[in-house]
């Protein structure tokens, strides 16, 4: 499971020009579910996301996590994080989990993450417009297989 975490001042999602989710300070997380991912990947990723200290303390050093700063999280499904671009110029997405299986794990991720912090979501499988006002910018990539 791959997550691209962006520290944001605010973030929102629109589907068909209608805003469906919005958060203030916190994380915009683009989440890709890969072949072979399971509940253990969810647990490892959530533990790291919740405890990741990428908000500044009073001295400006990264020292606080999203919960400590009263943040929120917007999770957006993003199968393109599975892209392999080694050969040719068209990305290969064969490492992405098939949509029905991926949706189940995506929803489980959101449910478990919601037990720690306020979470909004995009719409799984929809064409979305994602708005982000970066804070920093600070962007961190995580792969559950490397945690």
- Strand locations in 24-61 (E): 26-32, 55-56
Residues 6+ apart with CB under 8 A from 18: none
Say how far apart CA 8 and CA 134 lie, in whole Å: 4
Lookup: tokens for 128: 């979305």
Beta-bridge partners for 77: 31
What radius of gyration, in Å, describes the C-alpha atoms of the chain?
15
Cite the active site residues: 80
């Amino acid at each position: 499971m791959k997550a691209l975490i962006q520290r944001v001042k605010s973030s929102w999602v629109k589907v068909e020009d209608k805003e469906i989710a919005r958060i203030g300070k916190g994380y915009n997380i683009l989440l890709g579910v890969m072949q072979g991912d399971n509940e253990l990947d969810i647990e490892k990723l959530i533990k790291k996301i919740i405890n990741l200290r990428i908000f500044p303390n009073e001295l400006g050093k990264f020292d606080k996590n999203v919960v400590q700063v009263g943040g929120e999280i917007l999770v957006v499904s993003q199968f393109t994080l599975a892209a392999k671009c080694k050969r040719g110029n068209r990305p290969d997405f064969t490492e992405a989990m098939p949509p029905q299986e991926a949706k189940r794990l995506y929803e489980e991720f959101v449910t478990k993450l919601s037990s720690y912090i306020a979470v909004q979501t995009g719409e799984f499988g929809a064409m979305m417009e994602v708005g982000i006002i970066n804070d920093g910018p600070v962007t961190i990539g995580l792969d559950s297989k490397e945690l």
